[in-house]
Amino acid sequence: MKKVDIDTKVKFLHGFSNKTRIQILESIKEEEKTVSQIVDDLNGNQSNISQHLACLKGCGLIVGRQDGKYVYYRVRNQLVRDLLTMFDVVLEDVENNIACCENHID
């Protein structure tokens, strides 16, 4: 396996480092959706959601498909879906540690 540059890895992980971006990824994990559908799912505002979609797209985690006046967003591929599922599996294992962590830095 090719060694990944640490700065690139940090930029990649940045895509997962925000509550709204995680909510978006979960919203489109199984099916593609428009911005309006995502805004409805998250009870957010379109401007904020659009900024996070741009970040996720820039990080390569999602793709968009133009259909008429709508853009449909979806998770890039099965590897990203698997990674989101793996986060849940690992989180289940370490959840108590995270809840008790006093060293978490925002």
- A 10 A CB-CB count for 104 gives 6
Ordered by where they begin, the domains of the chain are 6-100 (1.10.10.10)
In the structure, what pLDDT confidence band is assigned to residue 43 with cuts at 50, 70 and 90? very high
Q: Please state the pTM of the whole predicted model.
A: 0.87
Q: What is the mean pLDDT of residues 22-41?
A: 97
CA distance linking residue 31 with residue 73, whole number of Å: 9
CA distance linking residue 81 with residue 83, whole number of Å: 5
**What would the pLDDT profile of 58-90 be if each residue is shown by its tens digit?**
989 999 999 999 999 999 999 999 999 999 999
